[in-house]
Amino acid sequence: QVAWVTGAGSGIGKALALELARQGASVAVSGRRAKNLEDVARELEAAGARALPVTCDVTDEDDVARAVETIARELGGMHVAIANAGFSVAGSLESLSAEDWRRQLDTNVVGAAMTCRYALPHLRKTQGRIALVGSVAAFTPAPKIGAYCASKAAVRAMGLSLAIELHGSGVSVSIIHP
């Protein structure tokens, strides 16, 4: 099977990619930092997996569309797409600018939505799975991470809505809340 992990250059994304490879998947890893992706791809290949590093900024819709087409062409389709790319803007609500909020929501929410949008045609062909990486912050807000908590609550709501939309289509949805 072919799996795509966004934000796979480090952290949870890298760990997901390594586990998918351990389970026998060919893994496309994407993110903004090409060197990190190349390092992860080498690690995946050293473990015996087929790996494809694809530089992609999930805040750029054209970049996401290009990444999906590259993955489908190079690896022969897609069975799993994991919308993991994200980060946290820290600061009190009164200290965060509109630009801080836009960066937070563009990456964590809009980036996940575009990952789903462009992966879905390929996942429909394979009756695959979309996974959205949320956070316990969607359930337990904390001070000075309100923007992050709001973004992860939106990811949760998006995933629940998507599961309803896809019911009966053969494509399943998981929401992971580390």
Phi/psi of residue 17, each to 5°?
-60, -45
The angle that helices 146-166 and 98-105 make with each other, rounded to 10 degrees, is 30
Rounded Cα gap, residues 174 and 152, in angstroms = 14
Residue 75 Cα to chain centre, angstroms: 18
Helical (H) or strand (E) element with 177: none
Q: Which residues are catalytic?
A: 148
52, 28 Cβ separation under 8 angstroms: yes
Q: Beta strands of 14-152 (E only): which ranges?
A: 26-31, 51-55, 80-83, 129-133
